Amino acid sequence: MTSDTLPDPLALFDGAACALAVSAEDGTLLRVNQCFSDWVGMTADELHGRRFQDLLTMGGRIFHQTHLAPLMQVQGRVTEVKLDLRHRDGHTVTVLLNAIKRDHPDGVRHELALFGTTDRDKYERELLNARKLAEALLLEKTAAETALQQAQAELNEAYIKAKRRALFAEQMVAIVSHDLKNPLTAIKMASDFLARGERTAKETQLIGHIGQSSERAQRMIADLLDFTQARVGVGIAVTPAALDLHDVTRRAVDELRVAFPRATLVHHTVGPADTCLDGDRLQQIIGNLVANSVAYGDLQHPITITSRLGDDGASLSVHNHGPVIADALMSVLFEPMTRGTDQHTDVRSVGLGLFIVREIAKAHGGDVVVSSQVGSGTMFTACFQAQH
């Protein structure tokens, strides 16, 4: 663009996007543009001869006299000074003033440029509000983190205390359970000895109750000892040895028929028999699963025990026709102290049977699965790794 195409300087002055004014050294206005006139609500003719400082609010006039005038006198300029102009109708217009002092042949002139601050003030207010909000959120976040850290510390302390109590309780259970084995064995031996002699029907009945109660107590103690070993990280010990899987299962079922005379126990065999597992632990699995079926199954139907051996390993299954296991219970069925119902039964123990079954299966490299469906009943299957 050449100088020939530039607007007229006077037109630039009058049409500028900011308020422009020229005053004498004492502040008397010599020329103003249209924007300046609009901000104070007076025409250029009305403003001619008035002093700039007289258009300010009282605070602005004091500031002009004590600061602006001396600065212009000494420095010859001021930059971004915030002032309030008074409009003719009484409202104020906040502006930023830039001024420079220039010497002319006919005297000193002050060239003033004033910029409106409405948008800037709004932006600053929003920025300030955002900063306050951010500070408040940061304070809340800090307080929340402090509370969370304190709660975490309290939880950790409570967890440590609970863990110590649980370990102590498990140790006590192990000690007491172990120490109870000897007196219970003596009670069982004494009841067996007394049962051999001539007894009245009432005495025979009482001795039978003593024997059954001591056997149930021994099963509970054995379960507690196994539970304690599993919980303290030692795990249930197994001693695999060569055995006939079907024969071990048959002998266990024969003993259980005596223990549970009201139940009909049926044994099925699948596949070969020779494998390498812990026979005593297999009998424990069968006993716990059958006891569970007697407790919660329908004794009007037989309980089926299946011993199976194949290329993929060995398994023991116990099936009953009891009610379906609820979905909510299925996820915690193998947890300790879990029972399927609160009904009273003499074969109930301390709620460790299924937990111990799973631990024994794991000790053999396997696991336990359960299937429970309407119409087909419930079946527990303990699987073991193939060993020959």
What CATH number is associated with residue 299? 3.30.565.10
Residues 250 and 380 in one domain: yes
User: In whole angstroms, what is the distance from residue 25 CA to residue 101 CA?
Assistant: 8
Residues 152 and 287 in one domain: no
Domain that holds residue 209: 122-231
Residues 281 and 259 in one domain: yes
- pTM for this structure? 0.49
| The predicted structure's pLDDT at residue 342 | 46
Residues 150 and 212 in one domain: yes
Phi, psi (deg, nearest 5) at residue 314? -105, 160
User: Does residue 288 lie within any of the structural domains?
Assistant: yes
Partners of 265 in the beta sheet?
A: 303
Where residue 172 sits, what CATH number does that domain have? Answer: 1.10.287.130
Residues 188 and 111 in one domain: no
The residue that leads in pLDDT, 341 or 48, is: 48
Of the residues 231, 265, 287, the one at which a domain ends:
231
User: Does residue 236 lie within any of the structural domains?
Assistant: no
Count structural domains, the chain.
3
Partners of 267 in the beta sheet?
A: 305
- The answer to whether 337 and 350 have CB atoms below 8 angstroms apart is yes
- The answer to whether 343 and 306 have CB atoms below 8 angstroms apart is no
Q: Which of 55, 94, 98 is nearest to 75 (CA)?
A: 98
Confidence of residue 347 (pLDDT cuts 50, 70, 90): very low
3-class secondary structure for 286-346?
Answer: HHHHHHHHHHHCCCCCCEEEEEEEECCEEEEEEEECCCCCCHHHHCCCCCCCCCCCCCCCC
Residues 316 and 225 in one domain: no
For the segment 97-151, what is each residue's pLDDT rounded down to a tens digit?
A: 999 999 988 889 999 999 988 766 677 778 888 888 888 889 999 999 999 999 9
User: In whole angstroms, what is the distance from residue 172 CA to residue 343 CA?
Assistant: 29
Q: What mean pLDDT is reported for the chain?
A: 84
> CA Rg, the chain, in Å?
49
User: Does residue 53 lie within any of the structural domains?
Assistant: yes
pLDDT of residue 166 exceeding 70: no
Residues 86 and 167 in one domain: no
User: In whole angstroms, what is the distance from residue 228 CA to residue 235 CA?
Assistant: 9
User: Does residue 54 lie within any of the structural domains?
Assistant: yes
Report the DSSP pairing between strands 265-270 and 303-310: parallel
Residues 250 and 362 in one domain: yes
For the segment 222-233, what is each residue's pLDDT rounded down to a tens digit?
A: 766 666 666 655
Residues 294 and 375 in one domain: yes
User: Does residue 345 lie within any of the structural domains?
Assistant: yes
pLDDT of residue 181 exceeding 90: no
pLDDT of residue 348 exceeding 50: no
Confidence of residue 51 (pLDDT cuts 50, 70, 90): very high
| The predicted structure's pLDDT at residue 344 | 44
